[in-house]
């Protein structure tokens, strides 16, 4: 059985699942709108948490928050369920498919067979949609992929019950209510204020202050942990930053697209102008990644490179601080 | 980024038959989307990461051969896991998993415990028990 569901590739998985599920339910909403109204842009440094043997860094809020915030601001209702029993988890999924409901699932990527080997880490906050079942295989719409895929029952069970940090526990979700009237302006204004407050938060590890803290840390890495480990830390940082549309430049561009679309929707010229500014900041994030990748070609003395990268990050923090202060005033 | 600047530097996702979506501006300054086959900056850090992981795996293999650690450590590295993750998958406490990383303790493990590890690493009992680092 295959439900009437259209697969669209997106830059980021959680936005993509939300946007695709809502389109399916008759609410046309783009990925940038999901990302913006869900206040998806974020920055947090977690030096005490080691991810893949390197200090933790996140460019987005906890999994599920984007969709939840979006739902709250637009007045949607989402049903969410987690399971301790694997059989029950499959039964509920099968039942939903019977009832013509495409479902969002949180999964771990390590056991996803269609993922490239280089991307298969124990990362549990990936999202995809199941939109049917055919001959014992589930039909999978993974929004980071160009085409749709299939997973066997046991393959899907494995990714739904992957272990570790943020273990999905069979997490399944889908929208159950969409209001007839939506207050877009109210939602957009609230969402933008939230993002500004997050990025300007008076917390040392969050937002622009978090970026400054990372900048200080980078400067010390070669001396503190040795060049080899420092290079590895840096590689992990850039990977988190630019992998599959998430993080630094990628997120800045999605946010710019949101500001442009939102500005047109609620007729706010300031947002459209600020969109251009954010695009330029996104370009600088990409330059940062290119400069970081030069470390592995060993063209310059190591200390210099790390100092330069720390300076670049400080500059980004300054630019973003000015940007979000302006943005806050414009709504 | 302009739409024309979206990188096409064949990366890992592309090798596996897909492309990535970018948001970029067109000639009129309007946001649109474009597909990318990959980006050199990402390929470079990705390759470096893979290289580091391979070094960890090779080190574990040498350590098993020299009887410094048990096969659990090797397969843990091979599956890109750490102590906590192995503990989560097997349901065995982390401090016990660490103990099982010692060859002399590993040798005395019963079949039921070994089966939990073999299951986690997706290998057979024999493969786990007989791995000598060669």
CB contact under 8 A, B41 and A242: yes
Q: Is A205 left (phi over 0), alpha (psi -120 to 50) or beta?
A: alpha
| pLDDT digit string (tens) for chain B, length 134 residues | 999 999 999 998 898 889 999 999 999 999 999 999 999 999 999 999 999 999 999 999 999 999 999 999 999 999 999 999 999 999 999 999 999 999 999 999 999 999 999 999 999 999 999 999 88
Ordered by start, the domain boundaries in chain A are 13-37+77-177, 184-330
Is the Cβ–Cβ distance between A192 and A327 less than 8 Å? yes
Residue B80 domain-assigned (yes or no): yes
CATH at B55: 1.10.260
Which pLDDT score, from 0 to 100, does residue A283 have? 95
Q: Exposed, middle or buried: residue A181 (CB in 10 Å: 0-12, 13-18, 19+)?
A: exposed
For residue B134, being part of any structural domain is answered with no
B53 and B34 in a single domain? The answer is no
In a domain, B43, yes or no: no
- Best residue in B4, B13, B23, B90 for a mutation probing chain A (most A CBs within 10 Å): B23
How far is residue A194's CA from residue A61's CA, in Å, rounded to a whole number? 12
CB atoms under 10 Å from CB of A1, counted, come to: 11
| B48 vs A243, A261, A296: nearest CB | A296
> Are B54 and B117 members of one domain?
yes
A149 touches chain B (CB under 8 A): no
Q: CA-CA-CA-CA torsion for A224, A229, A231, A234, nearest 10 degrees?
A: -80
Both B62 and B115 in one domain: the answer is yes
Judge: B23–A257 Cβ closer than 8 Å, yes or no. Answer: yes
Give a yes or no: residue B102 inside a domain.
yes
Q: What is the pLDDT of residue A243?
A: 75
Residues B53 and B118 in one domain: yes
Contact between A97 and A1 under an 8 Å Cβ cutoff? The reply is: yes
Q: Which residues contact A290 (CB under 8 A, 6 or more apart)?
A: B41
**Does residue B91 fall inside a structural domain?**
yes
pLDDT tens for residues A228-258? 999 999 999 998 888 755 788 999 999 999 9
**B31 to chain A: closest CA residue:** A257
Report CB contact under 8 Å: B39, A244.
no
Largest separation between any pair of C-alpha atoms in chain B: 71
Q: Are residues B56 and B24 in the same domain?
A: no
- pTM of the model as a whole: 0.94
Which of A49, A235, A277 has the highest number of chain B CBs within 10 A, making it the mutation to test binding with B?
A235
Do the chains contact at B20 and A11, CB–CB below 8 Å?
yes
Looking at the partner chain, which of A32, A117, A235 has a beta carbon nearest the beta carbon of B23?
Answer: A32
CB contact under 8 A, A164 and B25: no
How far apart are the C-alpha atoms of A102 and A129, rounded to whole Å?
Answer: 7
SS3 A28: coil
Q: Give a yes or no: residue B44 inside a domain.
A: no
Q: Domain residues for B86? A: 49-129
For A253, the closest chain B residue by CA position comes to B23
ipTM score for this prediction: 0.92
* d(C-alpha A319, C-alpha A66), whole Å: 25
CB contact under 8 A, A11 and B23: yes
* B123 and B72 within one domain: yes
Candidates B3, B14, B28, B31, partner chain A, best to mutate (most A CBs within 10 A): B31
Which residues of chain A neighbour B119 with C-beta distances below 8 Å?
Answer: none
Contacts of A238 in chain B (CB under 8 A): 41-42, 45
Query: What contacts A298, CB < 8 A, 6 or more positions away?
Result: none
Among B49, B79, B85, select the one facing A239 at the smallest CB separation.
B49
* Cα–Cα dist A12/A293, whole Å: 23
pLDDT digits (tens, 9 = 90+) for B90-120: 999 999 999 999 999 999 999 999 999 999 9
Q: Give the whole-angstrom CA distance, residue B23 versus residue A183.
A: 26
- Total domains in chain B come to 2
Q: 3-class secondary structure for chain B?
A: CEHHHCCECCCHHHHCCCCEEEEEECCCCCEEEEEECECHHHHHHHHHHHHHHHHHHHHHHHHHHCCCCCHHHHHHHHCCCCHHHHHHHHCCCHHHHHHHCCHHHHHCCCHHHHHHHHHHHCCCHHHHHCCCCC
Would the CB atoms of A249 and B1 count as touching at under 8 Å? Answer: yes
Residue B125 CB neighbours (<10 A)? 13
CA atoms within 13 A on the CB side of B16: 18
- Do B80 and B27 reside in the same domain of the chain? no
> Measured between alpha carbons, how far is A70 from A68 in angstroms, rounded to an integer?
5
Fold of A13-37+77-177: Cathepsin B; Chain A (3.90.70)
Instruction: Give yes or no: residues B56 and B89 share one domain.
Output: yes
Output the tens digit of pLDDT for each of chain A's 331 residues.
889 999 999 999 999 999 999 999 999 999 999 999 999 999 999 998 888 889 988 898 888 999 999 999 999 999 999 999 999 999 999 999 999 999 999 999 999 999 999 889 999 999 999 999 999 999 999 999 999 999 999 999 999 999 998 999 999 999 999 999 999 999 999 999 999 999 999 999 999 999 999 999 999 999 999 989 999 999 999 988 887 557 889 999 999 999 999 999 999 999 999 999 999 999 999 999 999 998 887 666 666 889 999 999 999 999 999 999 999 999 8
Q: What is the rounded CA–CA span in Å between residue A246 and residue A210?
A: 18
CB within 8 A of A179, min separation 6: which ones?
A74, A75, A76
Closest CA of chain B from A92, distance in Å: 24
Q: With H, G, I as helix, E, B as strand and everything else as coil, classify residue A165.
A: coil
């Amino acid at each position: 059985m295959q439900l009437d569901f259209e697969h669209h590739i997106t830059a980021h998985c959680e936005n993509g699942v939300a946007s695709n599920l809502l389109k399916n339910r008759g609410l046309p909403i783009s990925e940038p709108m999901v990302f913006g109204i869900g206040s998806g842009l974020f920055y947090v440094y977690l030096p005490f948490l080691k991810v893949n043997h390197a200090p933790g860094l996140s460019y987005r809020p906890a999994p599920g928050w984007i969709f939840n915030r979006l739902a709250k601001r637009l007045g949607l209702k989402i049903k969410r369920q987690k399971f301790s029993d694997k059989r029950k988890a499959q039964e509920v999924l099968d039942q939903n498919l019977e009832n013509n409901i495409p479902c969002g699932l949180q999964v771990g990527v390590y056991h996803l067979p269609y993922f490239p080997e280089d991307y298969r880490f124990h990362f549990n906050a990936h999202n995809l949609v199941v939109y049917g079942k055919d001959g014992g295989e589930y039909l999978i719409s993974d929004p980071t992929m160009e085409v749709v895929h299939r997973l066997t029952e046991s393959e899907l069970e494995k990714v739904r019950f992957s272990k570790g940090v943020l273990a999905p526990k069979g997490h399944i979700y889908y929208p159950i209510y969409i209001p007839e009237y939506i207050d877009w302006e109210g939602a957009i204004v609230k969402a933008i204020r939230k993002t500004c407050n997050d990025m300007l938060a008076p917390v040392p590890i969050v937002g622009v202050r978090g970026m400054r803290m990372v900048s200080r840390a980078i400067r010390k890495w070669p001396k503190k942990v040795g060049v080899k480990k420092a290079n590895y830390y840096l590689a992990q940082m850039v990977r988190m930053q630019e992998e599959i549309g998430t993080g630094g430049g990628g997120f800045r561009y999605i946010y710019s697209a949101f500001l442009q679309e939102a500005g047109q929707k609620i007729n706010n010229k300031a947002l459209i102008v600020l969109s251009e500014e954010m695009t330029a900041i996104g370009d600088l994030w990409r330059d940062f990644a290119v400069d970081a990748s030069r470390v592995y070609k060993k063209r310059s003395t190591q200390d210099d490179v790390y100092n330069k990268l720390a300076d670049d990050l400080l500059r980004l923090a300054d630019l973003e601080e000015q940007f979000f202060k302006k943005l806050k005033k414009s709504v | 980024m302009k739409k024309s600047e979206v990188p096409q530097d064949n990366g890992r996702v592309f090798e596996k038959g897909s492309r990535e979506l970018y948001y970029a501006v067109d000639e009129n300054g309007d946001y649109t989307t474009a597909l990318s086959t990959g980006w050199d900056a990402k390929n470079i850090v990705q390759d470096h990461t893979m290289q580091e992981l391979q070094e960890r795996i090779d080190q574990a293999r040498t350590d098993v051969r020299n009887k410094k650690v048990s096969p659990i450590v090797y397969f843990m590295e091979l599956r890109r896991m750490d102590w906590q993750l192995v503990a989560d998958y097997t349901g065995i406490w982390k401090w016990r998993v660490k103990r099982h990383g010692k060859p002399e303790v590993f040798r005395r493990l019963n079949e039921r415990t070994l089966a939990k590890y073999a299951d986690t690493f997706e290998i057979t009992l024999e493969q786990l028990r007989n791995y000598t680092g060669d």
